[in-house]
């Protein structure tokens, strides 16, 4: 099984993640058209509950599989790497079954705790998905640990295509029975999509079974581990990661109930509060598009960093650490600027209705959120799992407290959630930076690394703003407002990507070392003159 570089693995997962997230955003207007604003708020509440239970089942052990397998294979211990996978897979099967059953039985109480009792049927319908995704995540963790992101990328695409198709079909078919039934019908696609991914990943594992233990790379002098030692390793890695991710989503659940209650305390009726929460849900879903790129980077970086630490190659670890942070900043800063400038047109393009102001002022959250995610991955790969968890939890508490006081203020209302998010990510960002510099002895120069991408993004933003206005005015002379907006958005975004890339080259934000890390196929797309300017 061929191991991929960080850059190649990142690009594969990025392409898949972007396709998945763009598709998920594009189908939202259709789903919202079927369910309505209030129904979409109910649907979003059910998914928040599902997501919390999902991350409890799927966050810790798959990452532990990836980290453990990477460490063991770097040392040539392929047999124990396979044993680790089998042990962890059995744990996930049991955990997935227990949590799926618990979600099914407790669907009613969960909907009441969230103050969204209409989400009961949707929560009920989502429960089998927990078991299916738990099994699929075991195989994803295995392939990521082996440095092969291809199968994970393909499975994500297959899962989302199935999900979108059947979500819309069943939501439409069941709408005649009421909004609650339609919301439940919309979740059927999630289960079928997860099942498709699980079948594919399982098939690929057995297809590649002959390369699981490569005879030419097995070291006879390597230390072997007992079942107890391997199980202990999985638990040691998975527990703090599960707590960290679980706490994040628990914070989201508290936020959901807190947001609605505090909006009502500020004078909003229940229906109006639900609609405002629906606006927040749309904002979060749109933010997930660039966040998925950072998640892809984290998935590609973790096994590579863990492997370098396992063989005590601190120089290589530091090199990969800096590269990961720079790549993160390179992606998220222009994304935040672009989302802020084009918030209104994008919302119109996607028929999101109201609430674009949340994106306009809240796009900056993307930068802090992404940096924290990569920093957390770095700390986890270095073995500082509980430190990373502690920092995340402190941030969550800061976010909840901020939201509680701000959302109930009528002039701030739902925007309090944006301010709370900024506070909630800035706190762990500072704590993680201190930890990396103190314990890993690595200076990461966040501000210095942000300057060139920021200037390039501002240049891009000005061009995008002007080009959008001109394109919209021109096409509006011949076609309607909606299609004029769609074409103008596509033109300005495409041009914006090119301008940002050229600006980064002019400002010398892309180095020769960055090109070395990139796959050859990508480098071949760069014009010779531009390539020469970077490398000289």
Residue 1, domain member (yes or no): no
Judge whether 309 and 384 are in contact, CB under 8 Å. Answer: no
The predicted structure's pLDDT at residue 199: 93
Q: Convert the pLDDT of each residue in 152-181 to its tens digit.
A: 888 889 999 999 889 889 888 888 888 888
Q: Above 80 in pLDDT, residue 364? A: yes
Q: Convert the pLDDT of each residue in 144-153 to its tens digit.
A: 888 777 888 8
Is there a single domain that holds both residue 388 and residue 480?
no
Look at the chain and count its residues.
536
The predicted structure's pLDDT at residue 42: 81
Q: Which position has the token pair 């990661």?
A: 241
Q: Above 70 in pLDDT, residue 3? A: no
Mean pLDDT of 407-414: 84
- In whole angstroms, what is the distance from residue 64 CA to residue 244 CA? 13
- 23's tokens: 């598709």
Is there a single domain that holds both residue 430 and residue 534?
no
Q: Which position has the token pair 């059947």?
A: 166
Higher pLDDT, 7 or 503: 503
Is there a single domain that holds both residue 367 and residue 497?
no
Is there a single domain that holds both residue 114 and residue 216?
yes
Mean pLDDT of 380-398: 87
User: In 3-state terms, what secondary structure has residue 218?
Assistant: coil
Judge whether 158 and 23 are in contact, CB under 8 Å. Answer: no
pLDDT band at 341 (very low <50, low <70, confident <90, very high): very high
Is there a single domain that holds both residue 372 and residue 513?
no
Last residue within a domain, chosen from 444, 464, 481: 444
pLDDT band at 218 (very low <50, low <70, confident <90, very high): low
Residue 187, domain member (yes or no): yes
Give the torsion through C-alpha atoms of 330, 336, 339, 342, to 10 deg.
-90
Is there a single domain that holds both residue 440 and residue 455?
no
Is there a single domain that holds both residue 268 and residue 221?
yes
Is there a single domain that holds both residue 370 and residue 401?
yes
- 377's tokens: 């991955």
Q: What is the span of the domain harbouring residue 533? A: 451-536
Total of domains in the chain = 2
pTM beyond 0.85: the answer is no
Is there a single domain that holds both residue 416 and residue 459?
no
Is there a single domain that holds both residue 480 and residue 378?
no
Q: Convert the pLDDT of each residue in 442-493 to its tens digit.
A: 888 888 888 999 999 999 999 999 999 999 999 988 888 888 998 999 999 9
Q: Convert the pLDDT of each residue in 26-38 to its tens digit.
A: 777 788 888 887 7
Is there a single domain that holds both residue 83 and residue 171?
yes
Mean pLDDT of 273-285: 80
Q: Above 70 in pLDDT, residue 4? A: no
Q: Convert the pLDDT of each residue in 88-133 to its tens digit.
A: 999 999 999 999 999 999 888 888 887 778 888 888 889 999 999 9
Percent of the chain with pLDDT over 70: 90
pLDDT band at 368 (very low <50, low <70, confident <90, very high): very high
């Amino acid at each position: 099984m061929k191991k991929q570089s960080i850059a190649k693995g990142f690009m594969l997962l990025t392409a898949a993640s972007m396709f998945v997230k763009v598709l998920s955003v594009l189908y939202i207007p259709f789903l919202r058209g079927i369910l309505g604003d209030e129904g979409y708020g109910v649907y979003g509440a059910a998914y928040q509950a599902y997501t919390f239970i999902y991350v409890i089942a799927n966050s810790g052990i798959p990452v532990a599989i990836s980290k453990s397998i990477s460490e063991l294979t770097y040392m040539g211990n392929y047999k124990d790497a396979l044993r680790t996978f089998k042990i962890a897979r059995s744990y996930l099967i049991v955990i997935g079954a227990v949590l799926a059953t618990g979600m099914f039985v407790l669907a009613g109480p969960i909907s009441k705790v969230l103050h969204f009792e209409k989400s009961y049927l949707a929560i009920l319908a989502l429960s089998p998905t927990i078991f299916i995704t738990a099994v699929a995540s075991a195989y994803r963790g295995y392939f990521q640990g082996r440095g092969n992101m291809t199968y994970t990328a393909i499975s994500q695409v297959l899962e989302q295509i199935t999900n979108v198709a059947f979500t819309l079909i069943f939501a439409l078919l069941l709408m005649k029975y009421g909004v609650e039934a339609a919301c439940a019908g919309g979740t059927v696609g999630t289960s079928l999509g997860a099942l498709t991914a699980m079948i594919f990943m399982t098939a690929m594992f057995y297809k590649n079974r002959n390369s699981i233990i490569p005879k030419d790379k097995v070291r006879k002098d390597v230390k072997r581990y007992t079942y107890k030692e391997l199980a202990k390793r999985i638990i040691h890695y998975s527990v703090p990661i599960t707590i960290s991710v679980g706490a994040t989503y628990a914070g989201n659940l508290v936020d959901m109930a807190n947001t609605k209650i505090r909006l009502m305390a500020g004078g909003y009726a229940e229906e109006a509060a639900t609609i405002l929460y629906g606006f927040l849900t749309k904002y979060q879903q749109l933010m997930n598009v660039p966040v998925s790129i950072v998640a892809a980077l984290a998935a590609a970086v973790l096994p590579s960093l863990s492997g370098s630490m396992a063989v005590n190659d601190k120089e290589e670890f530091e090199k990969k650490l800096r590269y990961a942070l720079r790549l993160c900043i390179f992606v998220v800063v222009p994304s935040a600027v672009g989302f802020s400038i084009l918030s209104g047109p994008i919302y119109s393009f996607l028929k999101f209705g109201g609430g674009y102001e949340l994106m306009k002022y809240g796009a900056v959250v993307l930068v802090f959120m992404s940096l924290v995610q990569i920093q957390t991955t770095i700390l986890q790969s270095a073995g500082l799992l509980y430190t990373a968890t502690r920092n995340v939890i402190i941030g969550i508490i800061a976010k909840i407290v901020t939201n509680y006081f701000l959302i109930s203020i009528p002039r701030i209302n739902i925007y309090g959630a944006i301010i709370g998010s900024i506070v909630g990510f800035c706190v762990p960002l500072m704590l993680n930076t201190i930890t990396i510099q103190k314990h890993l002895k690595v200076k990461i120069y966040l501000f210095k690394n942000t300057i060139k991408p920021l200037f390039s993004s501002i240049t891009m933003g000005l061009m995008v703003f002007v080009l959008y206005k001109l394109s919209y005015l021109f096409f509006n002379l011949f076609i309607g407002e909606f299609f004029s907006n769609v074409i103008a958005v596509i033109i300005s975004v495409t041009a914006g990507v090119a301008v940002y890339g050229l600006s980064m080259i002019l400002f010398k934000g892309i180095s020769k070392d960055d090109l070395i890390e990139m796959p050859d196929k990508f480098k071949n797309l760069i014009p010779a003159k531009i390539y020469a300017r970077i490398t000289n």
